[in-house]
Chain A
């Protein structure tokens, strides 16, 4: 077995930060915040108006022209993805018994997490609701009257 179980009652080294404990705490703190962020997200996007039917580029453009929703969505992106990735790390630790495989999968998880956080953050922060050359009927109302 690759996992070393420490002697019960052996004192924990105080020198290093206890990352396992920080991760445990992170799951709980992010969980509470995600309740608000995800329930709000589902309510506004899927419950109000025409629900799933209203979602299109113009809808996103309208929402992201308001900094409030941009901050909301980017915060949700970071919190949820790190929460989910850390949760998946727990599963990898539980179900792999070869150390090399365990390390590889955990590396893979964090690489995917980092890449998608960068992607999502860039998409939201560099977003243009009225991109040039787009048919007007695809654009949010706020683009009316803009000329390119």
Chain B
């Protein structure tokens, strides 16, 4: 069995996992955006058809998907700031590890602020 490479600063650490997450969330948001532009385009074609399609966004399963989408955007956006700081701030590289946990903490906080409200809108009586 190959032995674990020793002394790496990147592999298996915050640097690598933040990159993996940034990439996966970026791709997920991209594909959602493609769909979202096309569903919004329906406002120019037929108001009733638009309301029909947007109605599916209010169903429980898609509603839960929106939670995932918001979580992905929160992480990607805040980690994007972290990447920018690593690139442009003199001390960015030094603090990249702390900054990752700040990103996770802030994203979690914003998500917890959003999730109950969204769940009420999706599952509440209307």
Main SS of chain A's interface residues? helix
How far, in whole Å, are A123 and B126 apart by their CA atoms in the complex?
A: 30
* Residue B21 is within 8 A (CB to CB) of chain A in the complex: no
Residues of chain B at interface, number, CB under 8 A = 37
Name the B residues within 8 Å of A23 (CB-CB). none
Decide: B34 and A112 in contact? CB cutoff 8 A. yes
Measured CB to CB, the residues of A under 8 A from B are 28, 31-32, 34-35, 38-39, 42, 46-47, 50-53, 55-57, 60-61, 77, 80-81, 84-85, 87-88, 91, 112, 116, 119-120, 122-123, 126-127, 131, 134-135, 138-139
By CB atoms of chain A within 10 A, which of B37, B48, B57, B81 has the most? B37
For chain B residues 104-126, which have a beta carbon within 8 Å of chain A? Answer: 114, 117-118, 121-122, 126
Closest to A60 in B: B43
Tell me the dominant secondary structure on chain B's binding face.
helix
Alpha-carbon gap, A46 to B121, bound state (A): 9
Closest-by-CB residue of B relative to A73 is B40
Asked if A88 and B27 make an inter-chain contact with CB atoms under 8 angstroms apart, the answer reads yes
**Alpha-carbon distance between A56 and B50 when the two chains are bound, in angstroms:** 7
Distance, CA A47 to CA B70, complexed state (A): 11
Q: What are the 7 closest A-B residue pairs judged by CB atoms, nearest first?
A: A51-B121, A57-B47, A84-B30, A123-B44, A31-B80, A138-B47, A123-B41
- A116-B34 contact in complex given A53-B58, A57-B51, A84-B26, C-beta closer than 8 Å: yes
Find chain A residues with CB under 8 A from B70 CB: 42, 46
Interchain nearest-CB distance for B79 vs A (Å): 10
Of all chain B residues, which has the CB nearest A84? B30
> Beyond A31-B84, A46-B118: 4 further Cβ-contacts under 8 Å?
A32-B81, A46-B70, A53-B126, A134-B48
* Residues of chain A within 8 A of B118, CB atoms compared: 46-47, 51-52
Do the beta carbons of B117 and A38 come within 8 Å of each other? no
* A138 with B81, Cβ < 8 A, contacts A50-B126, A51-B117, A80-B33 known: no
Q: Which of A35, A39, A91, A134 contacts B47 (CB 8 A)?
A: A134
For residue B63, CB closer than 8 A to chain A, the reply is yes
Quote the shortest CB–CB distance from A56 to chain B (angstroms): 5
16 inter-chain pairs at a CB distance below 8 angstroms, sorted by A residue, are A28-B84, A38-B77, A42-B114, A47-B117, A50-B121, A50-B126, A52-B66, A55-B57, A55-B58, A57-B50, A87-B30, A116-B34, A116-B38, A119-B38, A127-B44, A138-B51
